[in-house]
Amino acid sequence: MPALTCDDVRLRYGGIEVLHGIRLALAYGTFSALVGPNGAGKTTLLDWCAGAATEASAASGTLRLDGREATTWSASRRASAGLRYVPFERNVFPGLSVLDNLRATAGPVGSESAFSRFPELARLASRPAGVLSGGERQLLAVAGALCGRGRILLLDEPTHGLAPTLVDRVLDELARIAREDGRAVLIAEPQLNLVARHVDFVWALERGLRLSASGA
Amino acid sequence: MSSGAADLAVAGLGTGAVAALSGLGVLATYRVTGVLNVAFGAVGMFAAYLERALVRDMHLPVYVAGFVVVLCFAPVLGFCLEAAVFGPLQARAADAGRLLTAGFGVTVLLVGIATAVWGEQARTDAPSLLPGGTSHIGGVDVPSAVPIELAIVLLVALGLTWFSRGGPAIRAVIDDRRLAELAGLPARRLARVGWILGTMLAALTGVLLAPQLRFDPPTLTLVIFETLGVAIAARLRSAPLAILFAFGAAIGQAELTGVHLSGAAGSVLDAVRSNLFVVLLLLATWATPAFSGAVSAVSALPRRGSRLLPPYLLLIVFALFAWVLRPVDLHAGLAIPALALVLLSFRVLHSAGLLSLGQAGLAGIGALAAGWASGWGILAAPLAGAVVAVVLALPVLRQAGLHLAVATLAAATALSSFLFDQPLFTPSSVQRPSFAESDRAFLYLELALVVLALLALTALVHGPGALRLTALRDSENGARTAGIAVDLERLAVFAGAGAVAALGGALWAAGDQVFDPTAFEPAQGLIWFAAAAAVGFADSTALIAAAIVLVIADSYVAGASAILVGAATLVLPRLRARWEGVTSHARAHL
C-alpha cells in the first residue's frame, strides 16, 4: 500500500489554476524528488499534502495516507498520522533553543540522535534558533524531521542555504532513513542534478500541468 | 504618603486587580493561539448579565451563580469559540483581518443577544461575589474584597507562568502555532486550553467589575475592552508587565479623585480620571512596537464588487420606494443613506488594504461639525473628518493589520469619551440646510450625496491612482521599493475615508436634528465594521444593502442589528469559502 497518494489535485489561487489534476504516489522505503522550475507548483503541492495550503487557495482532489482518505484532515491530524512537513520558510521555532527545537520536533531520543548525526548542531545547543544563520536554521529543521517519528517526510528545498559539504550529507541521511528505516521521503528541489544520484524516483512538475515519475 | 492618598491607592488596588485579570486573560489566549481575543469584553459583559439574571431573577445564591457562570458557562463558551469559530479559521490559515472580524462578530452577537434578552436600559443591581465592608489596617482603610482580588491575581499569574514555562512542546506551540501543528504537536488542544482560560478570566472580570458600575450591554463591553491597554502595553507577552500597568493605571485613576480643579480644566480632569484606561490603551497602541506581522489585514477578504446589481440602481429603487413611505417610516429611513456613507468609508480604506475600527468616531466628528457650523455644517463635516483622521492615523501610520485596527478603535474610544460624552463640546441641536428642511427633501439630498460619494469611489478604485493603491494593498514593501510614497498614500486614503464617514455622521445627526453621542459609540462602530466585513468591504451595493437592513432591523427590535451582523459575520465568510470550493470543484470537472 502506498504511503501517500494524491489524485487529481487541482488548486486555484485568486481564480488562477496553478495545479491541474496532479497524481502522485509515494511508497515506504523510497526517497523521491519533486523537481521543476520556479513557479511550477512544487511548494503549493507539498503545502496541500501537509494541510498547510492557505485560505486563499481553493482545491479539489484526493489525498490518502496509508490508504485512508485524508483530504479533509487538518494539518495536525495529518502530522499525527505520521506525515511530517518541513516548509521552506518559518521552519524552526525562533524563541526556542536549538536543543528545545529538537526536543519539540523529534523528542529527547531524537535530539540526541540529531546531535550525533550533525555535531554542528550540538555546538549550538543552547543558542536560540532565532539568531541562527539561514543555513543553520535549515539544518536544524531538517535534523528535527529526520530524527523525529514521522514516517512520511515532505521537505521543501531542504538543502537551500546549506554549505556544499552539508548538502551531500543531508541528502545521504535522507536516503538512508528512507531505505533503512522504511520511511517515505519526498523533497522538492529545483535542481535535478543536485539530487539525481541520491534519490530513487524523480517526479517532474511542469507549470502544474503534468507530473511524471521516473527512476533516477 | 498621607493617609488619604494611601486610602485612595488601596481603593485603586481593587480596580487594578480586575484590570490585571482581564489583561492576563487576553495574554492567556494570545500566547497560545496567536489570536487577540477582542471578544473578551463582550464575554465579560455577558457573564455579568448571566450572573445577575441567576441571582436576581432565578434567586440562586450569589456563590452558586458565580460557580455556574465562571466555572461552567465560561469554559463551555471558550471551548465552543475555539471549536466553532477560531479553530476552523486558524486551520484554514486565515489572516489577522479574518480573525479580527470573527472576534468582533462574536462581540456584536453577544451584545445583541444581551440587549434582546435583558434590555438596553442601564442597570445598577449586579450582585457582588466578594464581601463588602472595610478593615482598618495600619491606619489605612482596606476594602475586604481587595486582599481576595489580589490573591486571585497572584494565583492566576503564577498559574500562567507555570503553564507557559512547560515543556518544549508547549513553548513550541506558543512560539509558532502553525509550525507546531505541522510538527504534530498538540497545538489544537493547547489552543482550547488557551480559549477556556481566557474566557474564564474574561467572565471573572465581568462578574467582579459589574457591581461597581451603572451598566448596559455596550457600555460594560467597552469598559472591559478598555483594559486591553494593559495587555498591549505589556506587548502581549509579559504577564508581570501587564499586572504592573493594570495597577499603575488603576492607582493613578484613584489618586486623581483626590485632585479638584474648577471650570473647563475640572471637566477635562474628570474626563481623564474616568477614562484613564482609554488613555493607556491609546498610548499603548501608539507607543508599543508592532504586535502583529505586516500582513495586510484585509488581504483574504473578498475584493470584487457585486456585478449583479449596481449600487446606483439600488439607490434609485430606494428613492422610488421612499416616495410612498409613511412620514414616520420616512423619518426612520433618513438614517439609511447616512449609514450607507459610513459603511462606504470602509470601501475607501479597503482600496489600499487598510482597516479601521474607528469610523464611528469620525462619523461623530462629522456630526459635531454639523452641529457647530449651523446650516453649512454638512459641508464642513468631510473636512473635519479628514483632518481628524489624519491626526489619529499619524502615530500608527506604519502599523498594519491587528495593530492598526486596535489603534483606530482606541482612537474612537478616546473621541467618544473625551469629546462626544462631554456636554462642554456637544451642540444642543443640529440644523439641516434651509433648502432641505422637510424629511423628504433631506432624504433626496442625502441620496444625492451618496451618489457623489460613489462617483468619487469609482474614480478612486478605477482612476489613475488605482494601480498605486493596489500595489500598496498587495505588498507594502514592494510598493516602497517601487518608489510609491506609501505613507502619503495611506494618509490620503485615511483622510478620504474619514471625510466619507464624517459626511455620513453629519447626515445622521442632521436627520435626527440632534447630536446623540450613543449613535457614535465605539461599540456601534464595531457593529458597522462587522457588517461591512460580513458583506464584503469591496462591494458597494452590498454595503448600501447592509445599511438598509441594519436600519430597518433596529427600528423594529432593539439590538436586532447586532444579532444579525454577529451571525452574518460568523456564517457568511464560511458560506463564501464553501461556495468558492464548490465552484472550483465544478470548474475542475467541466
3-state secondary structure of A138: helix
Query: Does the pLDDT of residue B502 top 50, yes or no?
Result: yes
pLDDT of B587 reads 53
For chains A and B, count residue pairs whose Cβ atoms are closer than 8 Å. Answer: 103
Residue-wise pLDDT for B374-429, tens only, equals: 767 788 999 999 999 999 999 888 777 778 888 898 999 999 988 998 888 888 88
Q: Is A93 touching B (CB cutoff 8 A)?
A: yes
Amino acid type, B267: S
In sequence order, what are the beta bridge partners of B123? B215
Is residue B307 over pLDDT 70? no
pLDDT per position as a tens digit, B87-103: 888 777 667 777 888 88
Are B584 and A58 in contact (CB < 8 Å)? yes
Tell me which residue of B29, B476, B487 sits closest to B236, measured CA to CA.
Answer: B29
Q: Is the pLDDT of residue B524 over 60?
A: yes
Query: How far apart (Å, rounded) are the C-alpha atoms in residues A170 and A114?
Result: 11
With a CB-CB cutoff of 8 Å, which residues 298-327 of chain B face chain A? 299-300
Residue B298 C-alpha cell reads as 484585509
What gap in Å lies between CA B509 and CA B14, rounded to an integer? 39
Is B76 in the A-facing interface, judged by CB distances under 8 Å? no
- Look at residue A17 and give its three-state secondary structure: strand
| B265: pLDDT strictly greater than 60 | yes
Q: How many domains does chain A have?
A: 1
B343: which residues sit within 8 A by CB, 6+ positions away? B504, B528, B531, B532, B543, B544, B546, B547
The confidence score (pLDDT) of residue B2 equals: 59
Does any CB of chain B come closer than 8 Å to the CB of residue A43?
Answer: no
What range does the domain containing A105 cover?
Answer: 4-215
Q: Which of residues 561-590 of B touch A (CB under 8 A)?
A: 577, 580-581, 583-585, 587-588
pLDDT for B301:
43
pLDDT at residue B294, rounded to an integer: 37
Q: Are A115 and A142 in contact (CB under 8 A)?
A: no
List pLDDT tens digits, range B442-468.
999 999 999 999 999 988 888 777 888
Are residues A60 and B584, on separate chains, in Cβ contact within 8 Å?
Answer: yes
The answer to whether A55 contacts B585, with C-beta atoms less than 8 Å apart, is no
Q: Choose the closest CB to A52 out of B182, B187, B584.
A: B182
**C-alpha to C-alpha distance for B41 and B354, rounded to whole angstroms:** 24
Inform me whether the C-beta atom of residue A96 falls under 8 Å from chain B C-beta atoms: yes
CB B60 within 8 A of CB B68: yes
**Cα B454 to Cα B54, B113, B337, B538, distances in angstroms:** 50, 34, 12, 12
**For residue B334, what pLDDT band results from cuts at 50, 70 and 90?**
very high
pTM reported for the whole predicted model = 0.80
CATH 1.10.3470 range(s) for chain B read 311-586
B183 and A94 within 8 Å at the Cβ level: the answer is no
Give the DSSP H or E segment for B309: none
Q: Residue B95: list chain A partners with CB under 8 A.
A: 55
* Closest Cα in chain A to B87: A74
Amino acid at B174: I
Give the percent of chain B with pLDDT over 70.
Answer: 93
Give yes or no for B6 touching A (CB within 8 A).
Answer: no
Cβ-based contacts of A148 with chain B (< 8 Å): 183
Confidence of residue B178 (pLDDT cuts 50, 70, 90): confident
Confidence of residue B104 (pLDDT cuts 50, 70, 90): confident
> Grid coordinates standing for B27?
495574554
Chain A residues in contact with B178 by the CB 8 A cut-off are: 52, 75, 90
Work out the pLDDT band at B297, boundaries 50, 70, 90: very low
- Average pLDDT of chain B, as a whole number: 86
Answer yes or no: do A105 and B94 touch at CB < 8 A.
no
Residues of chain A with pLDDT below 70 are 14-15, 54-58, 207-216
Largest CA distance in chain B: 84
Q: Which CATH architecture has domain B311-586?
A: Orthogonal Bundle (1.10)
CA distances from B465 to B364, B472, B492 (A): 29, 11, 11
Task: Pick the more confident residue, B309 or B411.
Answer: B411
Cell of A69: 482518505
Q: What is the pLDDT of residues A151-171, one digit of tens each?
A: 999 999 999 888 888 899 999
Residue B126 pLDDT class (50, 70, 90 cuts): very high
User: Residue A130 belongs to a domain with what CATH number?
Assistant: 3.40.50.300
* Nearest-CB residue to A75 (from B182, B577, B585): B182
Minimum distance, in Å, between the CA of residue B172 and any CA atom of chain A:
6
Which chain B residues are Cβ-neighbours of A153 within 8 angstroms? none
Which amino acid makes up residue A176?
R
Q: Which helix (H) or strand (E) holds A142?
A: helix A134-146
When scoring B165, B177, B179, B189 by the number of chain A Cβ atoms within 10 A, the one with the most, hence best to mutate, is: B179
User: Per-residue pLDDT tens for B15-52?
Assistant: 999 999 999 999 988 888 888 888 999 999 999 999 99
> CB–CB of A80 and B171 under 8 A?
no
Q: Which helix (H) or strand (E) holds A155?
A: strand A152-156
Q: Which residues does B310 contact at the CB level (< 8 Å), separation at least 6?
A: B541
- Inter-chain CB proximity B183 and A21 less than 8 Å: no
Q: Answer whether A137 touches B (CB < 8 Å).
A: no
Cα–Cα distance between B218 and B41 in angstroms, integer? Answer: 9
pLDDT of residue B114: 93
What confidence tens digit (pLDDT) does each residue in A73-100 have? 888 889 989 999 999 888 899 989 999 9
User: How many CB atoms are closer than 10 A to CB B535?
Assistant: 25
Do the strands A184-189 and A31-35 form a parallel or antiparallel pair, or are they unpaired? parallel
Average pLDDT over residues B322-339: 89
* Contact yes or no for A93 and B185 at CB 8 A: no
CB contact under 8 A, A101 and B581: no
Q: Give the best residue of B173, B182, B192 to mutate against chain A (max A CB count within 10 A).
A: B182
d(CA B558, CA B141): 43
A93, A140, A149, A209: best to mutate for the B interface, most B CBs within 10 A:
A93
Residues of B with Cβ-Cβ distance to A140 under 8 angstroms = none
B357 has a pLDDT exceeding 50: yes
Of A8, A80, A96, Cβ closest to residue B184: A80
**Residue B85: which of B63, B69, B109, B68 has the closest Cα?**
B109
- pLDDT reported for residue B326: 86
